[in-house]
C-alpha cells in the first residue's frame, strides 16, 4: 500500500481509494457486532422474530425474507444502527484503524449524533427496495447545514470510510461519480427531515455519471468529503449490509 497513492486518489483523482481492506479479525468484529445489534433490535420489536430466531439460525443477508414481520422504516432509524461505545473502543485498537492513522496521521471519528463517542453506523438494503437507499449527495453538505455537529478544537478535514459487510459484486454497493468532488455546477438546497437538516439535490440524477464500485465483503472505499455518492439499488438476491463513518483528520 502506497500512502502517497491513496492520498492522491482521494484528494486529486478519482476522489476515492480502494486500497485498504479489513483483515479477517477486523471483519469478524464488524460482522459479529452488527449481527448482535440487528438481532437485539429485532427481538425488541417482534415476538415473532424471537420465535423464529429460536427455531432457525437467522442470517442478516436473508433479512428481506422476514422483514414484513416488523415496521422496517420505523425501527431502523440511524440511531438504532449506530454501534455502541464498546465497539468503538475495540475498533480503535484494530489493524484497520491503525492503518488509517498511518495514512492520515492524527484522526478521530466524528460524532454527529452528539453521543459522546464516534458514530460508526451500518446500513441495511433489501433487494429492489428503493426506499432503503439514500439520494445522491456530498457529505460536506450535511456539515454546511448543521453547524452544531461536534468539532475538535483544531483545524481538520473530513474523509468518509465506507466498508462492505454483505455485498454481491456488481449487484449491490455504493455509487460514485469519479472526480465529482471537483465539480462547481451542482445545485442543491437544505431540507428539514427526520429532525435534522439534510441536503436535497435540485439537479436531476441523469446529470451525473454514477458508477457502481464492485466491492466484496471486507473491502473499503475511502473518499473525499465532496464526492457525489449514494446507495445503489440492490439487484442481488441477498440483503446488502455496509458500515460507514467519517474521520476528522488533523491538519
The domain ranges of the chain are: 3-250
Using the predicted structure, report yes or no on whether residue 202 has a pLDDT greater than 90. Answer: yes
Using the predicted structure, report yes or no on whether residue 106 has a pLDDT greater than 70. Answer: yes
- pLDDT tens across 44-95, in order? 888 888 888 778 888 999 999 999 989 998 899 999 999 999 999 999 999 9
Q: How confident is the model at residue 105 (pLDDT cuts 50, 70, 90)?
A: very high
**Average per-residue pLDDT for the chain:** 95
Q: How confident is the model at residue 140 (pLDDT cuts 50, 70, 90)?
A: very high
Angle, CA of 215, 28 and 95, to the nearest 5°: 85
Of the candidates 204, 212, 210, the one whose C-alpha atom is nearest the C-alpha of residue 235 is 212
CATH of domain 3-250: 2.60.120.620
DSSP 219: B
Range 73-95 burial, b when 16+ CB lie within 10 A, else e: eeebeeeebbbeeebbeebeebe
- pLDDT tens across 208-228, in order? 999 999 999 999 999 999 999
Number of residues written out for the chain: 251
Using the predicted structure, report yes or no on whether residue 1 has a pLDDT greater than 70. Answer: no
Given this model, what pLDDT does residue 29 score? 98
Percent of the chain, pLDDT > 90? 87
Q: The C-alpha cell of 22 is what?
A: 479489513
Amino acid at each position: 500500500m502506497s500512502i502517497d497513492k491513496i492520498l492522491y486518489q482521494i484528494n486529486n483523482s478519482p476522489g476515492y481509494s480502494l486500497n485498504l481492506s479489513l483483515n479477517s479479525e477486523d471483519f469478524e468484529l464488524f460482522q459479529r457486532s452488527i449481527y448482535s445489534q440487528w438481532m437485539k433490535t429485532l427481538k425488541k420489536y417482534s415476538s415473532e422474530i424471537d420465535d423464529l430466531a429460536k427455531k432457525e439460525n437467522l442470517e442478516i443477508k436473508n433479512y428481506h425474507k422476514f422483514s414484513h414481520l416488523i415496521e422496517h422504516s420505523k425501527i431502523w432509524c440511524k440511531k438504532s444502527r449506530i454501534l455502541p461505545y464498546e465497539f468503538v473502543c475495540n475498533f480503535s485498537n484494530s489493524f484497520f484503524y491503525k492503518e488509517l492513522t498511518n495514512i492520515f496521521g492524527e484522526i478521530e471519528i466524528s460524532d454527529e449524533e452528539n453521543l459522546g463517542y464516534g458514530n460508526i453506523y451500518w446500513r441495511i438494503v433489501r433487494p429492489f427496495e428503493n426506499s432503503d437507499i439514500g439520494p445522491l449527495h456530498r457529505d460536506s453538505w450535511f456539515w454546511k447545514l448543521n453547524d452544531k455537529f461536534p468539532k475538535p478544537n483544531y483545524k481538520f478535514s473530513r474523509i468518509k470510510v465506507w466498508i462492505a459487510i454483505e455485498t454481491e459484486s456488481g449487484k449491490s454497493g455504493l455509487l460514485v461519480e469519479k472526480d465529482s468532488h471537483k465539480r462547481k455546477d451542482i445545485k442543491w438546497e437544505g431540507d428539514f427531515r427526520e429532525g435534522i437538516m439534510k441536503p436535497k439535490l435540485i439537479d436531476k440524477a441523469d446529470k451525473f455519471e454514477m458508477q457502481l464500485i464492485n466491492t466484496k465483503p471486507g473491502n473499503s472505499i475511502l473518499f473525499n468529503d465532496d464526492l457525489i455518492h449514494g446507495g445503489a439499488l440492490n439487484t442481488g438476491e441477498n440483503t446488502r449490509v455496509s458500515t460507514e463513518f467519517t474521520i476528522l483528520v488533523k491538519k
